[in-house]
Amino acid sequence: MKAYIFPGQGAQFSGMGLDLYENSTVAQELFEKANEILGFSITDIMFEGSAEDLKQTKVTQPAIFLHSVILAKTLGEDFKPEMVAGHSLGEFSALVASNALSFEDGLRLVSKRAMAMQKACEMQPSTMAAVLGLEDAVVEEVCASIDGVVVAANYNCPGQLVISGEIEAINKACDVLKEKGAKRALVLPVGGAFHSPMMEPAREELAAAIEETAFATPSCPVYQNVVAKAVTNPEEIKENLIKQLTAPVRWTQSVQQMVADGGSEFIEVGPGKVLQGLMRKIDRSVAASGATFQVSE
């Protein structure tokens, strides 16, 4: 079975999407529509902006979403997913690509999500750290033993787990994890503690917007981060999407479930190759590649 997977934050690069815009009228129309919806020219920043410009909160998440979704829409007849999933932000791309959510509503929610997360980050300093070379259970135990907020946030692949929480608690956890044998426990240059209880204000803000948005039954099962299994019921999809900001991204478990359910060819749709790299570490037996845009007009 063919599975399409969509990347999350961090995959952005200067010039992203320009080839799509220049070679596809479908892409042009969608990019121009995005500029209208957002109220500023995100295309200028995506196509010509610096890495620093692309790091702006109002830009990063919508830019990755747009690149992923518009690439999917330009694949035409070639785009026939039998299952989809997205890493964190990428889940919104997956929902639009599987017709559970309209392009316009997806973009509005992603923009709202970015702003809500930024506000939550400013309320209280917090951070994340990547832990390499330990079993998930060991990392979870250490997090539970630390005073303060620190939780497992991103289960990226076996031996790579990102933790999230208060700065002091993260630093303490990193020290203990190194003592436990972690190859690395490295604080990441991020704006805050995503996928942790620190995002509760953002979750509440986004929940209101999600509740007001129309969701449809997707054209194929969506493997959601929160539950790491196939979901097709629109109400369940909304519920899981609301939980996503404060719950861990169970990416390893999602991919393993997709393989167990018959996923044999995984295609990353969007900027970068991060998910292809993680695929090779999760299950080498399945094919992993990137979606390639072909000029058809």
Residues assigned a catalytic role: 88, 195
Measure the CA–CA gap between 277 and 282, rounded to whole angstroms: 9
Q: Which two three-digit tokens encode residue 175?
A: 């020290």
Measure the CA–CA gap between 116 and 58, rounded to whole angstroms: 10
Q: Which two three-digit tokens encode residue 85?
A: 């999933």
Chain centre distance of CA 75: 21
Place of tokens 């907020």: 149
Edge-to-edge strand list for the sheet holding 150-157: 150-157, 160-166, 126-132, 184-187
Measure the CA–CA gap between 10 and 60, rounded to whole angstroms: 8
| Beta strand residue intervals within the chain, DSSP E | 2-6, 83-86, 126-132, 150-157, 160-166, 184-187, 222-223, 230-231, 265-268, 287-290
Place of tokens 């969608």: 30
Measure the CA–CA gap between 179 and 182, rounded to whole angstroms: 7
Of residues 177, 49, 200, 44, the one with CA closest to residue 124 = 200
Instruction: Give the DSSP H/E element, type plus range, for residue 44.
Output: helix 42-48
Measure the CA–CA gap between 244 and 203, rounded to whole angstroms: 8
DSSP per position, 193-210: -TTSGGGHHHHHHHHHHH
